[in-house]
Structure 1
């Protein structure tokens, strides 16, 4: 029998997996955590998606690992990595990332 305060888990079953989620500002529609494919929540995929304009106005990147019981705002680290990769390729940051990178580089 189910307890009245029970809720189903949305946590992946892999024991030691760090998940990265991006919050986006949709203007008048508000802010939300972007839906992500289960297999596309690793750091490299999130960085590639950001660089490939999959997000129009990212505001925050959060990482969490339920097996290790931690969560952290990693926006500053992601912003630095985005800048580093663009500098290495001698290209400008995508316009969709300018505000995000500038805001978090100064933090």
Structure 2
């Protein structure tokens, strides 16, 4: 009979979801940006993106080690940035325009108004 080995997890239970941004530094290359553990939540990442903390964001990835999953959330983040800019009646900041265009392209259709 084969004996299985079990190693307890060193990951604490109830870990929050972490969000990391891949940033493009031009000729220097691209990298996952370093961030404080307390500042890796979704709201902080969105605020940092909008404030210009990232040069040219490539993608945003979320992961939760205690739940054993990861996901590219770039589309969701881009749509949220577009939504916030729309609510504030502002254009998307220039440093985020390429990111938003890639992941949350605007609907180019023009809707006609019905005259009643």
Q: Give TM class, smaller chain.
A: 0.7 to 0.9
Question: 4+ residue stretches of structure 1 with deviation over 6 A?
Answer: none
Q: The residue matched to 1:62 in structure 2 has which SS?
A: strand
Q: What residue in structure 1 maps to residue 74 of structure 2?
A: 75
What CA RMSD, in Å, does the superposition of the two structures yield over aligned residues?
1.4
Q: The residue matched to 1:91 in structure 2 has which SS?
A: coil
The C-alpha deviation readout for 1:37-74, integer Å capped at 9, x for no partner, is 11100000000000111111000000000111000000
Q: What residue in structure 2 maps to residue 34 of structure 1?
A: 33
Tell me which of the two structures has the higher relative contact order, counting C-alpha pairs closer than 8 angstroms and 6 or more residues apart.
1
* 2: CA distance, partners of 1:104 / 1:91: 19
> Rg: which structure is higher?
2
Q: What is the total number of aligned residue pairs between the two structures?
A: 96
* 2: CA distance, partners of 1:89 / 1:55: 21
Structure 1: tracts of 5 or more residues without a match: 1-8
* TM-score using structure 1 length: 0.85
Quote how far apart the aligned CAs of 1:16 are. 3.0
* TM-score using structure 2 length: 0.78
